[in-house]
Structure 1
Amino acid sequence: MEKQKISIIIPCYSEEEAIPICYNALIKEVILRLSEVNFEIIFIDDGSKDETLKVIKNLSEKDSRIKYLSFSRNFGKEAAIYAGLNHATGDYVAIMDVDLQDPPELLILMYETLLTDEYDCVATRRTTRQGEPFIRSFFAKAFYRFINKISQTDIVEGARDFRLMKRPMVEAILKVGEYNRFSKGIFEWVGFNTKWIEFENVERVAGITKWSFWELFLYSLEGIISFSTAPLAIASVTGFIFFVLSFLAIVVIIIREMMWHGSAFGWPSLVCIIFFIGGIQLFCIGILGQYMARTYLETKKRPIYIVKEHN
């Protein structure tokens, strides 16, 4: 009987220090313990600025199970995940971070769970955010609460990209070929039965995170816009509310002028109202602009990533 195969996708951006540690951990914690399974490890070099590609090449020369794709520039983690899924050939496909914040030993439990027909995917979520700055943890929790209120796609709080999927689910994800990608939402949108495994936050083994607060904020906006049209409705409702308030204010001013002559004068209050209403208008136009910008990018049909070099 032919052995089953697991593909492990590992996006990398300037992670030359973490890659050897990650590889050794996979060999020790997973590959040697699952000798009945074939493996391929797919490193995605996302336009790194250091010696990431060189380190990966050196490993691939020693281990034929290592494959790599090197992008022509930095396209982002979402593009790296999509590229990995596109090139994975395994019966099961895993996605994990190179910094070992995703414990590789959990892959064994994931695989054993998927051997039954009950689940199509085993995913992970963090139960704690120990070691993260408070402000970052606060906004992360707020994001999950907000998006789950306005979106029809439920996204589990603390969900990681770290998961193991059967081939049918991978094929379904690849059919979602949109340019602006938010994988956490796509994983949930395609459906399939998913079992969640919880674990506590783990510190990076090497290097520093490449996600700044601003980048995480933009990424959260991507998720909100990709999986909800509620902000457009909020803009419309806000505009209607201020229209009603403005109309009531005009009525009050007319009544005051009729009862107490000269009460309608005063430019400071008028300027404040103009600035306030103008700000609301610009805010609503900005929401509309974000959706139009995403539509504009989708209509260009640009490739999600460009591979410069691979093996």
Structure 2
Amino acid sequence: MPERQPTLDIVTPFWNEAASAEGFARLLLELETEVSRRFGFATRKILIDDGSVDDSAARFAEALGGEWEIVRLSRNFGKEVAVLAGLDRTCGDMVLIMDADLQHSLEVSLKLIGELVENPDVDVVYARTNREGASWKRSQSAKLFYSLINSSQRFDIPENAGDFRVMRGTVARALTKLRDKRRFNKGLYAWAGFRHKAVTYTPGQRVSGTSKWSRLNLLAFSMEGFASFSVLPLRILSLSGLAVALAGGIYGLKVFFEVFFYGIAVPGYPSLLVAIVVLGGFNLALLGLIGEYVWVALSESKDRPVYIVRDIVSGAGEQKPDA
């Protein structure tokens, strides 16, 4: 009986990437050829259209070759959810996640796959972004974020690691069981465990368009991570509240001694106004932070589907509704 050929599934989420379709299709063709030649894997491509408003899906359908399918979501659910939608469609021995904007190169993809093939004790090989060219402010902000979110955890979220990674099929199937509505994939990858290995790389330049991640989006994404995986912000504010209460008690004792032992008049309106402003701002910040955690809990408790599929376009060009 002939030995079954191992398979590699390539998962790629995209949103409004029509300009990159032809270039990315060529990259996938080269990757498919090299994966077959070097490792003997058959390749299957799974693209997820995350609610694009341009003709991205049609452009990809025209350009792709080999075995492929495009899963079109009913609206834009976000990249984190689109990755899950792709993992749900996988059945291969290995799964590679990469972007369609051509910043994830052929060479690095082959290196990731090679590391996983050559190291049977490793379950996941992920690409760690080289931040040497980043500004000091951005690099220090990233270090602060990871040091805070990893504090008091039983697992560590690797710094500068994204979705660009290859994993064994068992890992991909395990990740599909994590149905968080408010998803922070970096934390989910780390929480799931398994044995990881990092490969440092420098992302290529975007061929067209601009990054979908603005500073405001990155800030919101960071808050999503804290609300999903860390109680540290609540503890910091709790300790700050204790510090404010202690400072208020010390100030009260100071006023008591000044009035009763030295006859010094107590400053009234200015000190009262400062106390109201400080405590009021502190309470509003705490209320907003608690609201973030409550919103995450509320989203999970509604038990809505993580995403909805509009239809699936297969390699034969056939359109069919989601089963």
Normalising by structure 2, what TM-score? 0.89
| 2:160 is equivalent to residue 167 of structure 1 | no
The Cα of 1:124 is off from its aligned counterpart by 0.8
The Cα of 1:159 is off from its aligned counterpart by 0.8
Q: Provide the secondary structure at the position in 1 that maps to 2:149.
A: helix
Once residues 65 and 285 of structure 1 are traced to their aligned partners in structure 2, the CA distance between those partners, rounded to angstroms, is 51
Q: Provide the secondary structure at the position in 2 that maps to 1:304.
A: coil
Counterpart code for 1:212: S
2:69 to 63, 67, 70: 67
Whether the aligned pair in 1 keeps the contact of 2:128 and 2:201 (CA below 8 Å) is yes
Counterpart code for 2:309: V
Whether the aligned pair in 2 keeps the contact of 1:94 and 1:164 (CA below 8 Å) is yes
What corresponds to 2:128 in structure 1? Answer: 125
Q: Provide the secondary structure at the position in 1 that maps to 2:48.
A: strand
Q: Provide the secondary structure at the position in 2 that maps to 1:17.
A: helix
242-251 vs 82-91, greater mean Cα deviation: 242-251
Change (3 A) 1:129 1:14: farther
Change (3 A) 1:224 1:84: same
Whether the aligned pair in 2 keeps the contact of 1:152 and 1:228 (CA below 8 Å) is no
Identity of matched residues, %: 32
Alignment of 1:190-209 (within 5 A): 190-209=192-211
Q: Provide the secondary structure at the position in 1 that maps to 2:12.
A: strand
What corresponds to 1:46 in structure 2? Answer: 50
User: Gaps (5+ residues) in structure 1?
Assistant: none
Whether the aligned pair in 1 keeps the contact of 2:125 and 2:167 (CA below 8 Å) is yes
The Cα of 1:150 is off from its aligned counterpart by 4.7
Once residues 25 and 207 of structure 1 are traced to their aligned partners in structure 2, the CA distance between those partners, rounded to angstroms, is 18
Q: Provide the secondary structure at the position in 1 that maps to 2:266.
A: coil
Counterpart code for 2:59: V
1:237 to 233, 236, 239: 239
Over the aligned positions, Cα root-mean-square deviation in angstroms equals 1.8
Whether the aligned pair in 1 keeps the contact of 2:116 and 2:122 (CA below 8 Å) is yes
The Cα of 1:164 is off from its aligned counterpart by 0.5
Once residues 206 and 67 of structure 1 are traced to their aligned partners in structure 2, the CA distance between those partners, rounded to angstroms, is 23
What corresponds to 1:22 in structure 2? Answer: 24
Whether the aligned pair in 1 keeps the contact of 2:148 and 2:232 (CA below 8 Å) is no
The Cα of 1:140 is off from its aligned counterpart by 2.7
Deviations 1:236-285 (A, max 9, x none): 22222212221221111111112343521331221011101111111122
Once residues 129 and 12 of structure 1 are traced to their aligned partners in structure 2, the CA distance between those partners, rounded to angstroms, is 27
| 2:222 is equivalent to residue 227 of structure 1 | no
Whether the aligned pair in 2 keeps the contact of 1:43 and 1:68 (CA below 8 Å) is yes
Normalising by structure 1, what TM-score? 0.93
Q: Provide the secondary structure at the position in 2 that maps to 1:19.
A: helix
Once residues 47 and 104 of structure 1 are traced to their aligned partners in structure 2, the CA distance between those partners, rounded to angstroms, is 26
77-86 vs 265-274, greater mean Cα deviation: 265-274
Once residues 54 and 122 of structure 1 are traced to their aligned partners in structure 2, the CA distance between those partners, rounded to angstroms, is 32
Whether the aligned pair in 2 keeps the contact of 1:7 and 1:42 (CA below 8 Å) is yes
Once residues 11 and 171 of structure 2 are traced to their aligned partners in structure 1, the CA distance between those partners, rounded to angstroms, is 15
Runs (4+) of structure 1 exceeding 6 A deviation are none
| 2:250 is equivalent to residue 258 of structure 1 | no
Q: Provide the secondary structure at the position in 2 that maps to 1:149.
A: coil
| 2:304 is equivalent to residue 302 of structure 1 | yes
The Cα of 1:12 is off from its aligned counterpart by 0.5
Whether the aligned pair in 2 keeps the contact of 1:153 and 1:185 (CA below 8 Å) is no
User: Gaps (5+ residues) in structure 2?
Assistant: 314-323
Once residues 259 and 294 of structure 1 are traced to their aligned partners in structure 2, the CA distance between those partners, rounded to angstroms, is 53
Whether the aligned pair in 2 keeps the contact of 1:151 and 1:230 (CA below 8 Å) is no
The Cα of 1:141 is off from its aligned counterpart by 3.3
Once residues 104 and 162 of structure 2 are traced to their aligned partners in structure 1, the CA distance between those partners, rounded to angstroms, is 8
